[in-house]
Amino acid sequence: MPGTNLTQAEAAARSALLQITTYDVTLDLTTGPDTFVSTSRITFTATTPGSSTFADLVGATNVSATLNGLPLDASAYADSRLALDGLADTNELVVTADMAYSHTGEGLHRFVDPVDEKVYLYSQMEVPDARRVFASFEQPDLKATFTFHVTAPEGWAVFSNSPTPVPTSLGDGNARWDFAVTKRMSTYITAIVAGEYVGVEDSYVGKNGTIPLGLYSRASAREHMDVDSLFTLTKQGFELFEDLFDYPYPFGKYDQFFVPEFNAGAMENAGAVTIRDEYIPASRQPRSFYDFRTNMILHEMAHQWFGDLVTMKWWNDLWLNESFAEWAGYYAAANATEFTDAWTGFTNARKLSGYRQDQLITTHPIAPEIKDLHDIEVNFDMITYAKGASALKQLVAWVGMEPFTIGLRAYFRDHAYGNTEFKDLLGALEKASGRDLSTWAEEWLQTSGVNTVRPEFTLNADGTYASLTIHQSAAPEHPTLRRHRMGVGLFDLVEGSLVRRTTIEVDVEGGLTEVAEAVGKKQPDLLLLNDEDLAYVKVRLDERSYATAVAHLSKLDDSLARALIWTAAWDMCRDGELPTSDYIDLVLANIGQETDSWGLSRIPVLAESALFGYVSPDKLPELQDRWEAGVRELLVAAEPGSDAQLIFAKTYAAATDTARGSIHGCMRGERTIADVKALLDGSWTLPGLTVDQDLRWRFITGLCAAGAFGEAEISAELERDTTQSGKENAAGARAASPDPTVKAEAWRLATMDPATPNATGESIANEFSRAGQPALDGYVHAYLDAAETILDKVGTHRAARALEYIFPRQLATQANLDVIDKWLASTTASAMAVRYVREGRDELARAMRAQQA
């Protein structure tokens, strides 16, 4: 039985048979806290009269349906499908059903704010979850127009893809909102947002007219919404995109809703974007937070054209939607906002995630084959986002920005409100650039893995290059050697600063590429391949360049060049080519002067993960000691009120984990615990450091991870912080505890209990593996047991989050690898669960190799 799955073959057959004309959807949200009533009236044509098909409907009860006025038998609805036989040329399907509110973020999610008991609903339809809200033909290429009617309590605010109409009072405390018909769109970008939302409105006036704008949130979060900056960013995005795409914004108005317990970062519903409400923070955040939020908001805006106006035919081109929006978000941030260094942040953080994903055993091509909906669950990751965006950045460098723009504009004009495949975009770009891009597409989109480049050179007696060659290699299991356009940067020490002397642009192809222009040039103090970060490739530093980086990286004034060096060092550490102690030394010596906020935020996290993953147990105590002492010095020396001070305070809070260092023989953990307690209670103050609620929870979680705090301190903090965020942080703090009983309960909540709210489960998963090896003993077996059943118990999104983050990565032993291998050889778990187990095993094996090195 198909269940909630849908194959590409089934979708293609249904698309060949049907053309959907209209949806008229009525939702009654007044029937109680558990269910709502949904009525869909769908008009469509069939190319073959008398044929059969099916509509999609998940989790419905009390279903009644008519096709062309005739009632369907109750047996027609089974296994999440409604069988439709004897189709006419023109058809009308009417389906009424009771539908369940979601508490897992799929379909129509319902949330009650613990602060004031106000109710908030929002829909999440992607990938195939419109069918949890109304009967539909759930696939992206069956576009239609939609008319929504919503009955809700009279005091509520109700929104959809069309502008919000004046509601009609029904006289019983309820009202009805009748929305205007939408543009033609796919089911997955339709939206309903309803509840006691509050907000503010504005408008953008551009070359194509006026776009009404709205920002909305929960009432308890409204005071934290930085309205002016959000509207400014939104207007900057529209100005750039309407000019870049040369196509008017397609959907009339543009609302952005900051909603609770959201699974993703945001969702590009046409004209009604939903965003995690963590992005209107109650506490101070570093610049990297706002950098990422900027990209995310611009990412969703780019989708209004690329994804919503022009939509992929089937989910195998979902990569293109997301890769393009990722590239466009960073491009817009760098060219239209205050975050002119957005590409530096991309290199320091986002791109690293792509590199990691691409080196796991589960790597896949950017454009994978998607045979059915289940394939999306295992092929939608940082390869889709970060590697895909990097490939597009390389493509722009390859064909030139102007031809790329001309091709995009033609693509939007030719396919507006339609569906496409990648070949349609490729054809537009080929026509605009005059270049055959088929081989580029083959080597970049249809192969897996990341190449590595390293310099090889000989010197003349006077210290000039006699030769300089770029050596390109690939992992044996993914042997493709790709073409790369990249810069070769030559940097010299000049009066204590690292200064770029020149950059040589070169096209790298095959195993060896001669850099003829370098011959005769003086050897620099630092040679940097992939200067300007045009290519997606791992870079190695020669011995002289690495020594320069350790001593002088902070003296290099180009933030993107620094990011490339940070990335190269991290890759060398992960691959066992650079001792972890050397990487730690590089970080401690230079991170205090780093000016890129993403570098500041991300690099200490990487260093800590290397410390507890890649260091052999016998060497760990001494290196822990250096790390804790170094982070404390960085914190004390940081400029008062700076991002660096805030980030190092959070890093020091995480270092309380090393109180478990007594297990390894390190005694400094006790001092760290005392320091963090003193920062928390105010007996130690640092000028400029405000210990707000977010930072308090960071300190408390760190102290719980060390075993220094427990339920008494968590409960006391919950009396201070009665928000939903407080509950989520408390759950994370408990999960960090080494107490076996507390840890077991956190495990149950995250992996077995369907009633655990989304964000609470996420907080538990994020913190669970902090407490050190003794507290995690046995959880490899528990993890494997959970992987067998977690999907059925807690749903797709919660299961994915738990399986990805809760894996006990610190248990890197051959015995645990053997246990995992035995499980993999015999399991019947879902493909998604198997994927995360394989990735966890891969990380354990890498840690063991690094420890041995």
Neighbouring residues of 194: CB distance < 8 A, sequence distance ≥ 6 = 29, 121, 122, 150, 152, 156, 157, 158, 159
Residue 774 neighbours by CB distance under 10 Å: 10
Neighbouring residues of 743: CB distance < 8 A, sequence distance ≥ 6 = 735, 737, 768, 771, 775
Supply the angle between the helices 438-445 and 422-433 in degrees, to the nearest 10.
130
759: DSSP letter: H
Rounded Cα distance between 202 and 337, Å, is: 19
- CA dihedral 279→282→288→290, nearest 10 degrees, is 50
Q: Compute CA distances 466 → 163, 443, 526, 540, 774, whole Å.
A: 68, 32, 17, 20, 56
300 given a catalytic annotation: yes
Rounded Cα distance between 552 and 562, Å, is: 10
Which one from 106, 278, 300, 430 is the annotated catalytic residue? Answer: 300
At 82 the three-state DSSP class reads: strand
Token match 């469509």: residue? Answer: 44
Token match 């030559």: residue? Answer: 490
At 7 the three-state DSSP class reads: strand
Rounded Cα distance between 608 and 605, Å, is: 5
Residue 616 neighbours by CB distance under 10 Å: 13
Amino acid at 642: S
- Long-range residue pairs from 421-428, CB within 8 A, at least 24 positions apart, any chain: 421/312, 421/313, 421/317, 422/317, 422/320, 422/367, 425/320
Q: Compute CA distances 690 → 303, 641, 649, 679, 686, whole Å.
A: 38, 8, 10, 10, 8
Structure tokens at 743: 């840890």
Contact 280, 259 (CB under 8 A): no
Write the DSSP assignment of 202-260 as a string of letters.
EEEEETTEEEEEEEEE-GGGGGG--HHHHHHHHHHHHHHHHHHH-S--TTS-EEEEEET
Contact 850, 580 (CB under 8 A): yes
Neighbouring residues of 429: CB distance < 8 A, sequence distance ≥ 6 = 395, 399, 403, 404, 407, 408, 437
Q: Compute CA distances 251 → 21, 213, 754, whole Å.
A: 18, 12, 37
Biggest CA-to-CA distance, the chain: 94
Token match 């020091």: residue? Answer: 652
Residue 342 neighbours by CB distance under 10 Å: 25
- Which residue(s) pair with 272 in the sheet? 255
| Cα 267 off chain centre by | 11
Backbone Cα Rg of the chain: 28
User: 431-445: b or e for each residue (b if 16 or more CB lie within 10 Å)?
Assistant: ebbeeebeebbeebb
- CA dihedral 549→552→553→559, nearest 10 degrees, is -140
Contact 489, 527 (CB under 8 A): yes
Bond into 794 cis (ω within 30):
no
| Cα 363 off chain centre by | 17
Neighbouring residues of 384: CB distance < 8 A, sequence distance ≥ 6 = 318, 319, 322, 323, 366
Give me the active site residues, please.
Answer: 300
